[in-house]
Structure 1
Amino acid sequence: MPRLDTAIPLIGRDPELDTLRAALDRARAGHAGAVLLAGDAGVGKSRLLGELAGDADGVTVLSGRCLDVGEAGLPYLPFAEALGGQREAAERWPVLGRLLPGLTQPEPADQTVERLRLFDAAHALLVELAARGPVLLALEDLHWADASTRDLVLFLLSRLDTQRLLVVATYRTDDLHRRHPLRPLLAEVSRLPAVARIELAPLGAADTVAFVSALAEGALPDAIVRTVAERSEGNPFFCEELTAAVRRGANLPEGLAELLLARVERLSPEARRVARAVSGATQLVAHASLGTVCGLDEDTLETALREAVLHNVLVAAQDGYAFRHALLREAVYDDLLPGERVRLHAAFARLAAANGTAAALAHHSFRSHDLPTALAASVRAADQAVGMQAPGDALHHLEQALQLWEAVDEPERISGRDQLALLRSAAAMADTAGEADRAVTYARSAVTEADLRDDPELAADTRHQLAIALIPFDVHRGEVSKAVAEAWELVRDRPASVVRARVLALRARAWVWGVPDVDVDELRGHVRQAVADARAAGAPEVEADGMVTLAAFEDWQGNVELSTRLGLAAAERAAEIGAVRVELRALHNVTCNLLVIGDLPGAARMAARAWQRAERAGLGWSNVGVEARTSELFDLYVLGDWDTALARAEVPGAPRFARARVGSYSAPILAAQGRFAEVEDLAARLADQRDDARTGVLLGIALAEAAQWQGDAERAVAEIRTVIERLHALTRSSLADLRWAVVTGVSALADLAEEARRRGGDAGELVGQGEELAAAAEPVSSVQVRLEGRSPDTRVPTARLAAELNRLRGADDPAAWAVAVDEAAPLPYWQLIARWRWAAALLAHGERDAAAEQVRLVHDAATELGAEPLRSAVAELARRGRLTAAAAPADDVLTPRERSVLELVAGGLTNRQVGERLFISEKTASAHLSRVMAKLGAGSRAEAVSLAHQRGLLG
C-alpha cells in the first residue's frame, strides 16, 4: 500500500506552508488573523492544515469540521467540536451551553439578545484562551457550513484584533456554484484587513511526479510514475488512489467514480456493507450504531471495520468512523440503489429517534420517505435552532415542515402545532435572518390562515406582523396602511391587551405612510393609551416602542431637541429590557433629528452606532439594520467622505434585498467621481431590484447625473421621468427624493435650453417641460411638509430648484444661487454644486471677481474631494470666462488620498494591500490609482510613480 497523509513528506507546498506559519507567528506576537484556505476536493487542504497544526509548538489547536448534511445540519457543529475540550473555561459563559451540551444553560430570553450573547461568549472564550497562549482555530469544509456557522464565522473574523489567535478555514472551490450560500460570506470577509486567502492549486508537474514517486516507494517504473502523475492532474488524492490501483496490478481507471469505487470493491462483503452504511450518515458514526444499522454481530463488525480502515477507506476517530475523504463517501453514496438509500436512512432515523438530534431525525426520515416523522422532527429541529440562536436553520426546518403539511394526515396532531403558528414562526425567522421578501410571503399567508378563525385579536396580531414585514418595501406602503387599519378595526372596541397596544402604537406610526391629513393630537392620544395598555399588560417592549413614537411626535411638532432627549431615553430603556429592534428604531429617529438640525457628522455617527448595534445583535440585514446602514451612507455621501461610504456600501454577504438597497447608495458617489461605467454596471447588476423604490430612485438619479456630466442631457431627463413615475406610484413618496430627482431633471433641461439659445433656437418647449417637472415635486399634504420640509435633504434641492428654474427660463439669478449655497451649508458636496452654478451666474452678470472667488473655492474643494466631473466643469467655466485665478498650482494636482495611494504603490504594494493599509476597499484603491494615472497622463503604475517623482509629487 502507498503511504498516505502525514506518512510522507509534504511536497510542493512550501510557499503556502510558509505563509501559514508566518500568519501563526504574527498571531503569537498579538496580531490576530485569519486565512481562507481554498482549493478543489483532494488537493491537500486538510494535509496542509495538519502540517501547520502538527508543528505548532506551544499553540492550543482547536479543530472542527462541517459535515455534508444538506441544509439540515446541526447549527454551529464545527464550533461545538472545536470548543468541546474547553468546557472548564467555557463555564464562565452559560450561554455556551447552546453550543456545548452539558453546561448549565441560562433561562431563554429574547432570541436576538441570546444570539448576540452566544456570539459574544464564543468570542470572549477565544480571547481568554488566546490570553493564556497562542490559539489556532481550524475550521474545515466551510462549503458545508450551516447558516448559523457562517454567521458566527463572520462575527469572529470581523473582530480580529490583538488576540494571539489565528483562524484557518478550508473550503472547496469546485463546490461553489454561483448561488452557493458560502459565496457571500467569502466576499464579505475577504475585505477585512486581517483576512488573507490562499488558493491551493494542483501540484506542478515536477512536484506531482515527486509525490507519486514517494507514494510508490520505488515499486513502480518511471514511465508508470509519469503516467500516473499526468492522469492525476496534480491532485494529491487522485495520485494516492491511482498509485494504489497500479500497485495492485490494476489498469488505470477511466473515471473518478470508477477509481474511487475500485478501492471499496476490493473489500469483503461485510466491509463493503459497513462502508455503504457510513456513506449515509450525517456525521461520525459510533461503533455501536454501525452494528445496529448493518445488522452485524460484534466480531464481524470489528473485522469489517479493521479491514475498511486498513485499506484506507475509513478512518477511526475518537467518537466513531468516517470516510478518509469526502470524495470517497460521495462516490459510495451515489452508487447506492434507491431502495438501499431508503433502508439505510430509515435505520439511521431509528437511531436518531432514540438518541440523536431532531435535525438528523428530520433529515433521515425525509430521505427514507417517512413524512409524518419528518414533519414532527422538522418542527422540533426548528425549535432547537431557535434555542441555539440560528434563525437561518430554523427557517429551513420550518419551511420543510410547511412543505410536508399537506402530504401527511393529521399534521396538527403529528407536529403539535397548527399551520398558522408555523407560518408566523417562519415569518419571524425570515425577518431575523434578513430574508425580507420571504418574511412578507409567510406573513401574508398567516393573515389568510388567521382569517379562517373566529378570533379578532389573532387576526389583528397577524396583520400587525404583516405590516412590520412590509415596512422595508416602499412600494408596499399602501398595504402597510391597509393592514394597520384593518387591525385597528378588529380591536378598536375590545378591552386593553398586548395586541391592542401593539396595534395602537403601530397605527400612530403608520399614518405617515399613507394618510393625507390627520389629527396628530388624536394619534398622540392613541400612543399614550398604547403605552398605558402595555404597562398594564406587562409588555415592556410594546411600552418602549410607544415611547419611541411619542418622541417622534415631538419631532413632527418641531420640538427636535425634546424629541432627541426622549428618543435617547427610549433607546436606553429598550436596551435595558433587551428590546433590540425598539432600541434601533429609537436610534434611527435620533439620527433623523440630527439630520433635521443640520448636524450631519453627528447623524453619521449615530447611524454608525445603530448599525454596529444591529450587527452585534445579528440584525444587520433586518429592516432596522439596513435602515441604520443606509442612513449613514447618505450622510457620508453629502459630507464628502466618499471612501468610507463606498467601503460601507460593499456588502456582498447580505441577503438580496439588503445588498441592493445598501449597494445602491454607492451609485451617486460613483457618478460624482466620474466613474460612469461603474454606475452603468451597478445599475445592470441591480436591475432586478429596481422595483424597490429607494433602490430604483438612487440608481435612476445616479444614471441621470452621470448622463448629464457626460453631456447627454436628454438621457438624463428620460432617467428622471422614470424615477418620478416610480415615486408617484407610491402611496406617499419621499419629498426629499422627489425634489432631488426633479432638480436633477430641471437642471438637465436647463442645459438643453441654454444650448438651444446659444444656437439661436426657441427654448419654450423645454421651459414647459421643466415647469411640468417642477410641479411634480409639490407635497401631497401639510403633513408631508411638517414631516420632511425642515430637513436639509429637502430644503437644499428645493432652493436649487428655484435657481435652476430661473436658469431654465433664461434668467439665471445669482441671488437665487446664493440662497441655495446658504441652504446647502450642512451638505458640503451639494453646496459645491450650488457654488459652481452661482459662479456661472455671477460671471454672466459681469461680477468677475466674485465669480473667480467661487471658481477657485469649488475647484480646490472638488479636487480634494475627488469630484472629477465637477472639477472639470468648473475648470471649463474658468477657461471660458478667462478666470486665471481658478487654475490650481501644478504641484497640487493630486488629492491627499490620491497621494497616499500613490506613495504606497511606489512602495510596491498591490491595490489590495493599499486598500488594507488605508482601510478602503481594493476597488476604491484601484479607482484612486486610475484617477492618478489619468491626471499624470501615465499608461501604467510604474510610469505614474516615475512621473510623480519627476514632478515632485512624491517625497
Structure 2
Amino acid sequence: MPRIGSGVPLVARRAELAVLESALAAAAAGKAGAVLLAGDAGVGKTRLLTEFIARSQATVLTGRCLDVERAGLPYLPFVEALGRLPVSGASGLDDALEQLRLFEAVHTELAEMPGPVLLALEDLHWADAATRDLLLFLVSRLGRQRLLVVATYRVDDLHRRHPLRPLLTELGRLSTVERVELRPFDRADAMAFVSALSDDTLPEATLRGIAERSQGNAFFCEELTAVYGSGTGVPAALADVLLARVERLGRDAQRVVRAASAAGNAVEHSVLQAVTDLDDLDEAVREAVQHNVLVTADHSYAFRHALLGEAVYGDLLPGERVRLHAGYAKVVESPSLLAYHALQSHDLPTALSASIRAAEEASAMLAPVEALRHIEQALQLVNTVPEPGVTEYTLLRMASRTAMAAGHADRAIAYARSSIELADGPESGAYARHQLAEALIPLETAAPEIGVAVAEAWELVKELPPSRVQAKILALRAREWVWAWHSGLDVDELTDLAERAREMAAELGDDDVEIDSLVTLAVFAEWRGRMAEAQRLYRAAATRAAATGAYAVELRALNNLAVSMTVRGRPREALRISEEIIERATAVGLTWSDKAIEARISRHFNRFSLGDLPLDTPIEDLSAAPRWAAQRFEASGLYWLAIAGRFEEVTEAAERLMADIDDLRTLERIRFALAESALWRGDPGEALGQARQILDWLASLPRSGVADSRMAGAIALTALADLAAEARRRRDDTAVRELVAEGERVREIVERHGSHAMHALWAFESGNPEVVVMEGRMAAELSRLHGVNDVDLWQAAVAPSDGFIYQRTVARWRLAEALLDAGRREEAGKELNSAHAEAHRMNAAPLLAAIEALARRARIPLPGITPTSDELLTPRERAVLELVSSGLTNRQVGERLYISEKTASVHLSRVMAKLGASSRTEAVSLAYDRGLLA
C-alpha cells in the first residue's frame, strides 16, 4: 500500500515555500502580511502548509472552514484558531456595533500575542459571510504587527457567482497581501512523488502512466498509486470526489457533461448540440464552465481535468453509452473519431472501414504510431464483418510496414510472419517474405531466417514477367552481405543484381526500389575505394528519396554515409550526418525507426569518440520510445556510465534490461558496459567473462563486426594481463602460464572474426580507425600479459588520429607506466599530464583516479586538482581498507562496520578505482606505499 502524501518528503514546491518563509521572516521583523495560497482541490495546499508550519518558529494558530451547506456556524475557523471568540454575548452579533467590537477584539488579541504569530485558515472557499468579513477587517489593518495570515482556497470551486470572489478582489488591492498559486506537479516531480508514495517499488512505465493520468495533482497521484494494478478506471474513492462536483450542477448541465464524457476528446459546440438535442445548450454549457467542470478551448469544450471526464464516463449506464456513441458516429467527420464511436456503439462494419481510413490518414500525416493503432483495430474486426472489403493478408502487411516505421520491431516481424501464412499466390507470397526480411534485418541473429525468406521469395517470382515485386527482391538480394558475410560472395555479382533491380524499377516506375538500388551501388563503389563516387551516390539517393517521399530509403542512404565517414576516420562529419538523420526522421514521422535509433546512438558515439561528451551528460528522454528502441538506446549509454564510474547505475540498469530483452545487439552493448565496469572495479575475472561471452556471440554471427571483436579482445587481454600481474606478485608461475595461454587463444579468436568475409568488405572494415586503435591496445596488452610493458607498442596505440580519445587516453596512461618502468621519467610526466587533462575533460572518474595514483607513486606533479592523501579516501573507505589490510573478507568487514557485505564490496571497489589497483591485495600494497595505511 502506498503511503499518504504527508508521509513522504515534500516534493518540489521550493519556490512557494520560499515565499511563505520570506513572509514569515518579514512578520517576525514587524512587517505584517498575508499570503493567499490558491490551487485546485488535491494539488497539495494542505501538504505545503503543513510543511511550512513544521519548519516555522512561530506561534501557530490554525482553523478550517467547513462546507457552508453542512455547517453554518459563523466564524468557525477563528473559533478553532483562538479556542474561543474574545467577546461575550455572541447572541447580539447581528448588530453592526457588536460585530465591530468582536472584530477589534480579535485584532487586538492577535496583535498582542508573543510573536511572530502565524494564523493559518484553510478552505476559504467554504467560509461563511461572517468569516469573510472578519478576515477582510484583519488583513486591511495589517501594519507593524508581528503577524502573518495564510489562507488557502480552491480555485476550481470558484464559479463566477461564488461569494469568495468579491473578497479576493478586495484583498488583491492591498499591498500587504501576496497571492501564491500552487500549480500541479510537472511530469518529473509527479513521477518523483509517486515513487516516494510507493517506496520506489513501481517500474518507470507505471510511474509515468500515473503521472500523466493525474496531470500532476497530488491527491490524484495518491489514489491512482493505491490501485495502480487494477486497470485504467478511476478509483472509487476518487470517482466519488470528482462526481460530487458534477452532482451540484443542474439537470441540463449534467446532461451536457455526461455527453461530453463520451466524446473521446474535446467536443465542438455543434457536435454537442446534435448529440444532446437541448433547447438551451448555451445556458447548460455556461453552468458547467462556471463551475469549472468544463473549459473552453479553440471553439470546443473539454473537461478541466481528464480524470473527471473518466469518472463521469465510468458512471454512465451501458445503454446510455451506446446511445451517446451512436449519436457521435452520426455527426463526427474525422475517420479516427468515427472508428472510435462506431466501435463503442457496436457498429462493426462502420468501425472497420473507418479504422482503415483513419490509418491511411495517419500515414499520410506521417504519424505511424497512430496509423498502427488503427490498423491493429481493423485486424481485430476484419474477421467479424461479412464482406469486409479488405483481406486480413493486406492488413497484416500494412501493420508490419507501419510497425517498422513506428519502431516496434517485434510487432513488425510477427505481422510479417503471419502474412506469409495467409498469402494465396506467388506474388503475395513473395511480397510477404520480402516484408519479413526487411523487418528482420535490424536483428543480428536473424540472418538464417532472412536468407530463407529472400531465397523463397525469389523462387516464387523468378520465372514471372518483370514486376515490382521482382525488382524489390532483386534489390534485396543485392544486399546479401548484410546476412551472409562470407568469402563466397562476389562483389561483381552483387553489383549486377543491384543494376538489374535499378533498371527494372525504372522501367516500372518504382522510385523507391530504384533509389534503394542506388544506395546499394554506392556501397559497392565504396568497397572498391571509389570514395568520391560513393559519397555522391549517397547524397543523390537521399535527395531523390526525400523528393519522392521514400523516407525510409532516404534514412538508409544517410545512415550509410554516416557509417562511411566513421569508418574512414572522419567522426566530425559522421556526427553532422547523424544529427541530420535525427532531424529528418523526426520531421517525417520515423522518430523511433531502426535508422533513427542507430543515428542517436551514433551521435553520442561520435561525440564520445571526439572527447566532446562529458560522461555525466544525461541520456535522452525515452518516455515516448517503443520498448525495443528504448532498450537499444539505453543499453548503448551504459558504457559511458561505466567509464564515468557510476557502477551501481550500470548494474541496476543491466539487471533490469536483461530481465526483458530479446535483441542480442542490445545484450552485446550491455555486456561491454559490464566488462568495462568490472575492469575499473578491480574484478578482471568478471570483465574476462563478459568479454568472452561477447566474442562467443560474435563468432556465431554470419556477419560479425570487426571493431566489436577487437574491442572485446582488448578488454579480455586487459583483464588477463591484470590477472597475470597479480599471479606474478604471488609468484604463481602455473597461473601465469595458463593466463598467457588463454590470452593467445583470445588473440586467435579475434583474428578469425571477419577473416572469412569477401576481400572487398574485409579491407573496408579493417581500415576503420577504431579497429586500428583497438588492435594497437590488444598488441600492447598481450605484451603486458607476457610480462613486458612495451613502450613502442603503447606508443603505437596512442598514435595521433581524429577520434577515439578515451581509448587513446587509456593507452596513454599505460604508456606513461611503461615509460616509468623504462626509467624515462620526463616523457612519462608529459604523457601523464596529457592523459590527466583528457580524463578530467571527459569526467572519466576511474581513469582519472588511476592516472593520479600513478602520478603520486612516481611523484610526478599534476595540475592543482590532484587530491592529497587525506582527501583521496572518505573515512568509510579508509575504515574498509584498514580491515581488508588485516585479512578480513568483505562479509567480515561488513559485520565489523555494521554494513552489508554488498556495501562493503562497493566501498572496496571505489578504493581500488581511486588507487588504480586491480585487486584488493594491490590496493593494500599501494595504500601502504602512499602512506594511506600505517
TM-score (normalizing by structure 2): 0.65
Q: Which residue of 433, 443, 452 maps to 1:482?
A: 452
| Residue of structure 2 equivalent to 1:765 | 738
1:536-586 Cα offsets, whole Å, 9 max, x none, are: 111222222111111111222233343223323333333443433323222
Matched position secondary structure for 2:529: coil
Give yes or no for the alignment of 1:788 onto 2:765.
yes
| Residue of structure 2 equivalent to 1:532 | 503
Q: Which residue of 532, 535, 560 maps to 2:531?
A: 560
Give yes or no for the alignment of 1:335 onto 2:315.
yes
Give yes or no for the alignment of 1:418 onto 2:404.
no
State how 1:647-726 maps to structure 2 within 5 Å. 647=618, 649=620, 651-688=622-659, 691-726=662-697
| Compared CA separation, residues 41 and 733, structure 1 to 2 (3 A) | farther
Find the aligned partners of 2:270 and 2:546 in 1 and give their Cα distance.
49
Q: What is the deviation of 1:748?
A: 0.5
The number of equivalent residue pairs is 676
| Residue of structure 2 equivalent to 1:493 | 463
1:58-88 Cα offsets, whole Å, 9 max, x none, are: xxxxxxxxxxxxxxxxxxxxxxxxxxxxxxx
1:341-392 Cα offsets, whole Å, 9 max, x none, are: 223323333x23xx53322222222222333332222222222323333322
| Residue of structure 1 equivalent to 2:439 | 469
8 Å CA contact 1:212, 1:243 repeated in 2:
no
Q: What is the deviation of 1:650?
A: 5.2
Stretches of structure 2 that go unaligned for 5 or more consecutive residues are 1-12, 20-37, 46-117, 136-150, 165-235, 869-909, 915-934
8 Å CA contact 1:825, 1:831 repeated in 2:
no
1:743-800 Cα offsets, whole Å, 9 max, x none, are: 1011101100011012111211222222232333122413262342111222222222
Q: What is the deviation of 1:595?
A: 2.3
Find the aligned partners of 1:572 and 1:530 in 2 and give their Cα distance.
20
| Residue of structure 2 equivalent to 1:397 | 374
| Residue of structure 1 equivalent to 2:156 | 237
Find the aligned partners of 1:748 and 1:841 in 2 and give their Cα distance.
17
8 Å CA contact 2:399, 2:412 repeated in 1:
yes
Find the aligned partners of 2:162 and 2:327 in 1 and give their Cα distance.
36
Q: What is the deviation of 1:622?
A: 1.0
Q: What is the deviation of 1:524?
A: 0.7
8 Å CA contact 1:41, 1:327 repeated in 2:
no
Aligned partner of 1:623: which letter? D
Q: What is the deviation of 1:603?
A: 2.2
Give yes or no for the alignment of 1:631 onto 2:606.
no
Find the aligned partners of 1:327 and 1:690 in 2 and give their Cα distance.
34
| Residue of structure 2 equivalent to 1:282 | 264
Find the aligned partners of 1:734 and 1:834 in 2 and give their Cα distance.
22
1:231-286 Cα offsets, whole Å, 9 max, x none, are: x99654368799999xxxxxxxx966455545655777666555543432335666
8 Å CA contact 1:697, 1:737 repeated in 2:
no
| Residue of structure 2 equivalent to 1:437 | 410
Aligned partner of 2:156: which letter? F
Find the aligned partners of 2:284 and 2:813 in 1 and give their Cα distance.
84
Find the aligned partners of 1:459 and 1:434 in 2 and give their Cα distance.
24
| Compared CA separation, residues 495 and 852, structure 1 to 2 (3 A) | same
State how 1:512-551 maps to structure 2 within 5 Å. 512-517=482-487, 518-551=489-522
Give yes or no for the alignment of 1:598 onto 2:569.
yes
Aligned partner of 1:821: which letter? V
Give yes or no for the alignment of 1:643 onto 2:614.
yes
| Residue of structure 2 equivalent to 1:366 | 343
Give yes or no for the alignment of 1:874 onto 2:851.
yes
Give yes or no for the alignment of 1:460 onto 2:430.
yes
Find the aligned partners of 2:535 and 2:865 in 1 and give their Cα distance.
46
Name the larger-Rg structure. 2
Find the aligned partners of 1:462 and 1:489 in 2 and give their Cα distance.
13
| Residue of structure 2 equivalent to 1:385 | 362
| Compared CA separation, residues 749 and 690, structure 1 to 2 (3 A) | farther
| Residue of structure 2 equivalent to 1:132 | none
Find the aligned partners of 2:695 and 2:381 in 1 and give their Cα distance.
45
Q: What is the deviation of 1:656?
A: 2.5
1:390-448 Cα offsets, whole Å, 9 max, x none, are: 32222111111111233x142xx23x221122112222222222223222222222222
**How high is the sequence identity, in percent, across the aligned residues?**
44
| Compared CA separation, residues 746 and 476, structure 1 to 2 (3 A) | same
8 Å CA contact 2:448, 2:483 repeated in 1:
yes
Moved more, 841-850 or 750-759: 841-850
Aligned partner of 1:282: which letter? G
| Residue of structure 2 equivalent to 1:890 | 864
Stretches of structure 1 that go unaligned for 5 or more consecutive residues are 1-12, 20-37, 46-203, 224-231, 246-253, 895-930, 936-955
TM-score (normalizing by structure 1): 0.63
| Compared CA separation, residues 869 and 402, structure 1 to 2 (3 A) | same
State how 1:5-20 maps to structure 2 within 5 Å. none
| Residue of structure 2 equivalent to 1:820 | 797
Find the aligned partners of 1:425 and 1:757 in 2 and give their Cα distance.
63
| Residue of structure 2 equivalent to 1:348 | 328
Aligned partner of 1:339: which letter? G
- CA RMSD in angstroms comes to 4.1
Matched position secondary structure for 2:401: helix
Aligned partner of 1:704: which letter? A
Aligned partner of 1:890: which letter? G
| Compared CA separation, residues 288 and 879, structure 1 to 2 (3 A) | closer
| Residue of structure 2 equivalent to 1:804 | 781
Aligned partner of 2:326: which letter? A
| Compared CA separation, residues 266 and 700, structure 1 to 2 (3 A) | closer
1:788-831 Cα offsets, whole Å, 9 max, x none, are: 21112222222222222222122343333333233866422222
| Compared CA separation, residues 729 and 265, structure 1 to 2 (3 A) | same
Matched position secondary structure for 1:642: coil
Higher relative contact order (CA 8 A, sep 6+): 1
Q: What is the deviation of 1:648?
A: 6.3
Q: What is the deviation of 1:651?
A: 4.2
1:98-144 Cα offsets, whole Å, 9 max, x none, are: xxxxxxxxxxxxxxxxxxxxxxxxxxxxxxxxxxxxxxxxxxxxxxx
| Compared CA separation, residues 334 and 806, structure 1 to 2 (3 A) | same
8 Å CA contact 1:434, 1:622 repeated in 2:
yes
State how 1:257-336 maps to structure 2 within 5 Å. 257-258=239-240, 261=243, 273=255, 275-283=257-265, 293=275, 298=279, 329-336=309-316
8 Å CA contact 2:295, 2:302 repeated in 1:
yes
Aligned partner of 1:360: which letter? L
